[in-house]
């Protein structure tokens, strides 16, 4: 399966210590998804979509998904058609 | 009082042995491009300049392209002959600079003694970082972190001096670590060809070969006086390198020696046949070097211009000037050097402008009796206003109107497009 880099809008929470936590993402088709839980945050490369940044491993509707904060922009790994 | 280094060494009970790492990003530009373009990752890929602008050489290529025999610095035409399916991607230097910074940031987690050598190489002195592990352990951490966090690979050399550390990073690639210790370097390094040693290029290699020296071990065991007779001072240096007695320190970038010269050059999209066209390019290059010099807070006292003609023959002319950081004055001197120094036997292919002999822009200097100081100050204010505009809105936001005469050749931005090349080892 091939993947593409999908830039997304993200509603985030900045806490007083400067930690950034994504709360909700807006997919390219307009659908909004709540992030149920963040299970890991670390710098990582996305070999599937191409790029690197801070990788947030999120639980969204029971699925584990990665979203990346790269150079002030958020992206996710989308399936290429 | 003991220095911090001595304190650290005394804790380890070891005053003599340094631990130096050399981190080399494998096929750096190509790796970064392949990371960002998954669709070309399993194809032969090379990063190359624009053929139309006659910058058409291979800057780097990935492992697949290398297996076809594609080499760095050959023309795209030659590379395509070896590998017709070669994917050529244009260079993206801001991206490479960002990745270079990211690799350096990882290195800085283990020591503050990081000395960059170009965009894709760094030396690290981790002698004092023993709480984070020994040399091999730190190298392993850096290697795996770069791979996981940045998606590219590095090869790392671990040794007790900078020269052997660099040899180590070249010894096994990609994504590998090699250690040369005081115990094993004779078995591992001495059989290597002399040309693998830093500062043994094609010419030196030939000279060494002519006196029967073919390996690094031959250099090490040769009488340094014999080497010096054939290579001058470098003979002693190479003898020291080969025996592992190089003591040059890793110099953190903030302690790096001051800038000695600033230059910009370009290969033109077409050969130039008259001075008017050359003047346009010299104006762009003079503007860029003068602005970079003002950024650093310098005035120059020497200006030089280099010209390469269509037969690849080069000449350089230089002259002393009164201390200046004014674009107009540098341009006038550069143009004067060109018109008096170039005989127009052949069309011009490439030009470069260099300023050196720096002094601080704040220092006092002797005014010239025959110059209008008021006019100079006006020019200086004009430069300062232009710099502010360019810093805010980009280098192309304001330009001399004369550059619009021939946009085919004047569409270049040397200020933003100049790249970091390795400085000399010494």
**pLDDT of A20 higher than 90:** yes
What pLDDT band is residue A12 in, cutting at 50, 70 and 90? very high
Residue B422's pLDDT is 52
Q: Please report residues of B whose CB lies closer than 8 A to that of A3.
A: 38
Q: Do B37 and A50 touch (CB under 8 A)?
A: yes
Is the sign of the CA dihedral B147, B153, B157, B162 positive or negative?
negative
B121 catalytic per annotation: yes
Residue B417's pLDDT is 72
Is residue A72 within 8 angstroms of chain B, CB to CB? Answer: no
Residue B11's pLDDT is 41
Q: Please report residues of B whose CB lies closer than 8 A to that of A42.
A: 149
Would you state the structure tokens that stand for residue A79, as one six-digit string? 């399936």
Alpha helices in B60-92 (DSSP H): 63-67, 76-82
Interface test with B, best of A7, A44, A45, A81 (most B CBs within 10 A): A45
Is residue A79 within 8 angstroms of chain B, CB to CB? Answer: no
CA distance A50 to chain B (A): 4
Q: Please report residues of A whose CB lies closer than 8 A to that of B39.
A: 2
Chain B residue with the nearest C-alpha to that of A44: B149
Domain layout of chain B by residue ranges: 1-189, 191-243, 262-417
How far out from the chain centre does Cα B381 lie? 33
The alpha carbon torsion through B303, B305, B306, B309 (nearest 10 deg) reads: -170
Instruction: Classify domain B1-189 at the CATH topology level.
Output: Alpha-Beta Plaits (3.30.70)
Instruction: Classify domain B262-417 at the CATH topology level.
Output: Dna Ligase; domain 1 (3.30.1490)
Q: Please, what are the averages of pLDDT over each run of 10 residues along chain B (426 residues)?
A: 42 66 94 92 88 76 91 88 91 89 94 90 93 94 96 95 94 92 93 91 90 92 92 92 91 68 87 90 93 91 92 90 92 94 90 91 79 88 94 88 81 73 57
Q: Do B35 and A49 touch (CB under 8 A)?
A: no
Domain layout of chain A by residue ranges: 3-79
Q: Are B365 and B357 in contact (CB under 8 A)?
A: no
Closest listed residue to residue B298, CA positions, set B340, B360, B238: B360
Closest listed residue to residue B45, CA positions, set B91, B4, B103, B109: B91
**Architecture of the domain whose range is B191-243:** Orthogonal Bundle (1.10)
Q: Which of A48, A49, A52 is nearest residue B149 as measured by Cβ atoms?
A: A52
Q: How many CB atoms sit inside 10 A of residue B1's CB?
A: 4
Q: Please report residues of A whose CB lies closer than 8 A to that of B98.
A: 71
Residue B22's pLDDT is 96
CA angle at B356 for the pair B351 and B362, rounded to the nearest 5°: 135
Report the predicted TM-score, pTM, of the whole model to 2 decimal places. Answer: 0.78
Closest listed residue to residue B99, CA positions, set B128, B120, B75, B126: B120
Is residue B149 within 8 angstroms of chain A, CB to CB? Answer: yes
Would you state the structure tokens that stand for residue B240, as one six-digit string? 């020291």
Residue B35's pLDDT is 93
Rg of chain A in Å (alpha carbons): 12
- A67's enclosing H/E stretch is strand A63-70
Residue B3's pLDDT is 44
Is residue A65 within 8 angstroms of chain B, CB to CB? Answer: no
Residue B400's pLDDT is 86
Q: Do B38 and A45 touch (CB under 8 A)?
A: no
Closest listed residue to residue B99, CA positions, set B33, B43, B166, B51: B33
Residue B54's pLDDT is 66
């Amino acid at each position: 399966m091939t993947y593409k880099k999908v830039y997304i809008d993200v509603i985030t929470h900045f806490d007083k210590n400067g930690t950034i936590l994504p709360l909700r993402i807006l997919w390219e088709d307009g659908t909004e998804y709540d992030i149920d839980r963040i299970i890991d945050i670390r710098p990582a490369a996305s070999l599937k979509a191409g790029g690197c940044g801070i990788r947030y491993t999120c639980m969204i509707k029971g699925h584990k998904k990665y979203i990346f904060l790269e150079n002030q922009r958020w992206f996710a790994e989308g399936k290429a058609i | 009082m003991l220095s911090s280094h001595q304190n650290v060494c005394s804790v380890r009970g070891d005053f003599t042995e340094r631990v130096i790492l050399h981190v080399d990003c494998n096929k750096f530009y190509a790796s970064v491009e392949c990371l960002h373009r998954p669709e070309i990752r399993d194809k032969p890929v090379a990063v190359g300049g624009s053929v139309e602008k006659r910058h058409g050489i291979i800057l780097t290529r990935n492992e697949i392209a290398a297996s076809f025999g594609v080499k760095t610095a050959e023309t795209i035409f030659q590379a395509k002959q070896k590998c017709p399916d070669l994917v050529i991607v244009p260079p993206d230097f801001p991206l490479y600079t960002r990745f270079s910074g990211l690799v350096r940031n990882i290195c800085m987690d283990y020591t503050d003694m990081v000395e960059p050598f170009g965009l894709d190489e760094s030396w690290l002195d981790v002698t004092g970082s023993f709480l984070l592990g020994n040399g091999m352990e730190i190298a392993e951490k850096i290697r795996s972190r770069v791979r996981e966090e940045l998606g590219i690979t590095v090869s790392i050399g671990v040794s007790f001096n900078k020269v052997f550390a660099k040899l180590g990073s070249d010894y096994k690639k990609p994504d590998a670590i090699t250690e040369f210790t005081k115990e094993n370097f004779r078995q591992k390094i001495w059989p290597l060809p002399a040309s693998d040693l830093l500062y043994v290029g094609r010419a030196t290699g030939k000279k060494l070969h002519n006196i029967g020296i073919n390996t690094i071990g031959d250099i090490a065991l040769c009488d340094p006086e014999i080497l010096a007779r054939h290579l001058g001072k470098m003979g002693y240096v190479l003898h020291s390198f080969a025996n592992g007695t190089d003591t040059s320190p890793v110099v953190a970038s903030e302690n790096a020696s001051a800038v000695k010269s600033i230059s910009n050059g370009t290969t033109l999209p077409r050969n130039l046949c008259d001075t008017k066209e050359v003047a346009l390019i010299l104006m762009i290059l003079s503007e860029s070097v003068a602005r970079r010099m003002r950024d650093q807070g310098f005035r120059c006292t020497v200006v030089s211009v280099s010209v390469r003609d269509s037969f690849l023959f080069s000449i350089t002319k230089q002259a002393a000037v009164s201390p200046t950081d004014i674009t107009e004055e540098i341009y006038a001197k550069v143009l004067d050097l060109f018109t008096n120094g170039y005989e127009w036997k052949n069309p011009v292919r490439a030009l470069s402008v260099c300023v050196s002999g720096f002094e601080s822009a704040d220092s006092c200097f002797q005014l010239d009796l025959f110059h209008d100081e008021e006019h100079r100050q006006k020019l200086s204010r004009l430069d300062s206003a232009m710099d502010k505009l360019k810093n805010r809105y980009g280098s192309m936001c304001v330009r001399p109107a004369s550059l619009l005469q021939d946009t085919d050749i004047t569409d270049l931005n040397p200020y933003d497009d100049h790249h970091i090349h390795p400085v000399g080892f010494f």
